Amino acid sequence: MSFILRSPALSKLPRTLNSSIKTPFRQLNSTSLPPIQNRPKRNMSSKTSKPAAVDTSLQGSPTGAAASFASSHSSDHPLKLYGGWFCPFVQRVWITLAEKNIPHQYIEINPYHKAPEFLALNPRGLVPTLAVPTVTDPKTGKVKEVKPLYESLVLCEYLDEAYADPNQYGERLLPQEDAYERARCRLWIDHISSRIVPSFYRFIQHTPDKAYTIEEIRAEFHGHLKAFAKEMLSCLSYPGPFFLGNKFSLVDIMLAPWAKRLFLIDHYKPGGVGIPSTKEQRGEDEEVWKRWEEWYNAVVQRESVKKTWSDDEQYVGAYKRYAEDTTQSEVGKATRSGRSLP
Ligand SMILES: N[C@@H](CCC(=O)N[C@@H](CS)C(=O)NCC(=O)O)C(=O)O
C-alpha cells in the first residue's frame, strides 16, 4: 500500500523538505525511522566529545503494559501515531485511542532526533504526531490520502470527532447535548494545560539556585490542583470519581499522564509532592483534598491509563534530566527560561 501525503501547510516548507513529503507515505513509517537503539550515537559523551546537547540517550521503546499495547498495534495501518513512550502529551493521545478502541499503528520514535521525515510531518518536531486517513475510495474502501496532524489536545479532539459512532467507539469524550457543559470542560482543560502542567515542570525542574523556593512552587502546584478539585466538588449533580462523575472524559485524559508522573516529584524533590494526607494537615481543605484523592485513585486505575504505562523505573531514568534541570527538551528549556510551553 502506498499513501500520498498532501497538506497545504506542508506545501509551504522549503522545496528540499517538500520533495520528501511527496514520497510514498510508507517511507515515513518505522522502517525509515529505525529504532533508537540502532541509530548512530551522535552527541553521546565520550572522553573527547562534549556531553549530549539533546536528550538522545533515552531508553528506546516502551516496557511493561505499554510494550504489549504498542506491539498489538504494530501492524501497518493508515492511522499512525508517532509517539515516545516517556511523553505525557503522547499518553493523552494513546489513552484516547485505547478508550475508543480505535484501530491504529503505533510507531515509537525519539523526537529529540529531528529526522527530516519527522519534521516533514510536524514542523514543530514534537511528538505526538498523527498521520490520519483523509480520502478513502468509496468503491474499494482503500485509503487514498493521509495527512499529518499534531498537538495533543487537537489530536484527542480530532479522534473523538472522526471516530464518533457510539456503537463502534463508545461514548463521546465531551458532553454532546449541552453546549455549556462542553465549554466548562474546555475551561478546565485550559486550566490543566495552562496552569497545572507548566507548574508540574517548574516543580520537577526546581533546583536550589532558582529564584523561587521549593515551598513556593509546591504551594503554587497545590493551588492549581485544589482549584480543579473544588470545581469537581461544586458539581454535586455528577456522582462518581471523574470530572464528569462516572463518565471518563477528555478532561480526565488531559491530566491523567501528569497524575501518573507525580511519583517522580516524590522520588526526586525534597518533601515530594506533599499533598496533605491527614485531617490535621488538610484542615479546612479536607473535602477538597478528599475529592482530589478520589479523582486520582480512579484515574490511575483506569484501564486505558494502565495500558499506556511503561515500568515505573523507566520514567525515573527518563526524568532525571528534568529533576537536575539539565534537559534540553523544548518543554524543559521553555520552563527554565520562563517561556510558555511549546
Ligand atoms: N504542545 C505539544 C507538546 C508536545 C511535546 O513537548 N512533546 C515532547 C516530548 S514529551 C517532544 O516531542 N519533545 C521534543 C523536543 O523537545 O525536542 C503537545 O501538546 O502535543
Measured in angstroms, how far is the CA atom of residue 128 from the centroid of ligand 1?
Answer: 7
Chain centroid to Cα 327, Å, comes to 17
Decide if 3 contacts 23 (C-beta within 8 A).
Answer: no
Strand partners, 132: 147
Q: 9 to each of 17, 62, 131, 157, 205, how far by Cα in Å? A: 12, 31, 14, 20, 34
**Helix 88-100 and helix 64-71, axial crossing angle in degrees, nearest 10:** 60
Query: Tell me, what's the pLDDT at 317?
Result: 95
In a mutational test of the pocket of ligand 1, which residue from 155, 329, 337, 339 has the highest number of ligand atoms less than 8 Å from its CB?
329
Query: Tell me, what's the pLDDT at 54?
Result: 60
- Residue ranges in the chain whose pLDDT is less than 70: 1-57
In a mutational test of the pocket of ligand 1, which residue from 121, 330, 336, 339 has the highest number of ligand atoms less than 8 Å from its CB?
330
Query: In this structure, what DSSP letter does residue 325 have?
Result: T
Query: Tell me, what's the pLDDT at 55?
Result: 67
Enumerate residues lining ligand 1, CB below 6 A: 84, 87, 89, 111-112, 125-128, 151-152, 329-331, 342
Pick the atom of ligand 1 nearest to 153's CA. 19
Q: Which residues are catalytic?
A: 87
Superfamily classification of domain 4-169: Glutaredoxin (3.40.30.10)
Query: In this structure, what DSSP letter does residue 164 have?
Result: -
Take atom 11 of ligand 1 and give the residue whose Cα is closest: 126
Query: Tell me, what's the pLDDT at 238?
Result: 84
Pick the atom of ligand 1 nearest to 88's CA. 10
Query: Tell me, what's the pLDDT at 217?
Result: 98
The model's pLDDT over 73-102, given as tens digits with 9 standing for 90+, comes to: 999 999 999 999 999 999 999 999 999 999
Q: 338 — alpha (psi -120 to 50), left (phi > 0) or beta?
A: left
Query: Tell me, what's the pLDDT at 60?
Result: 87
Q: d(Cα 194, Cα 200) in Å, to the nearest integer?
A: 11
User: Which residues in the chain are classed under CATH 3.40.30.10?
Assistant: 4-169
Assigned fold of 179-336: Glutathione S-transferase Yfyf (Class Pi); Chain A, domain 2 (1.20.1050)
Query: Tell me, what's the pLDDT at 59?
Result: 77
Take atom 2 of ligand 1 and give the residue whose Cα is closest: 151
Measured in angstroms, how far is the CA atom of residue 338 from the centroid of ligand 1?
Answer: 17
User: Which residues in the chain are classed under CATH 1.20.1050.10?
Assistant: 179-336
Residue 112 buriedness (CB in 10 A; 0-12 / 13-18 / 19+): buried
Query: Tell me, what's the pLDDT at 193?
Result: 98
Of 92, 94, 34, 25, nearest to 61 by C-alpha is: 34
